[in-house]
Amino acid sequence: MKVNVNKDACIGCGACVSICDKVFEFDDEGMSKVVNSDVPSDLEADVKEAVESCPTAAIEEE
């Protein structure tokens, strides 16, 4: 599983960072960035939860 954050859609709410800080972190502008785009299998459930929790659908599975 691969994941990406669409910076144009992210509003920096922090939901994804709260759910899975091994994959998502805040960048210098307070928006989410992916730090582990090749998601390890043991984190896939958390990432899927983050995808579903994002209010702007900014997290894209690839």
**Using the rule CB under 6 A, is 3 a contact of ligand SF4?**
no
Look at phi and psi of residue 60 and say left if phi exceeds 0, alpha if psi is from -120 to 50, else beta. beta
Both structure tokens of 45 = 């459930």
**Using the rule CB under 6 A, is 10 a contact of ligand SF4?**
yes
**Using the rule CB under 6 A, is 47 a contact of ligand SF4?**
no
**Using the rule CB under 6 A, is 20 a contact of ligand SF4?**
no
- Displacement of CA 14 from its chain's centroid (Å): 9
Return residues touching ligand SF4 (CB under 6 A).
Answer: 5, 10-16, 32, 54-56, 58-59
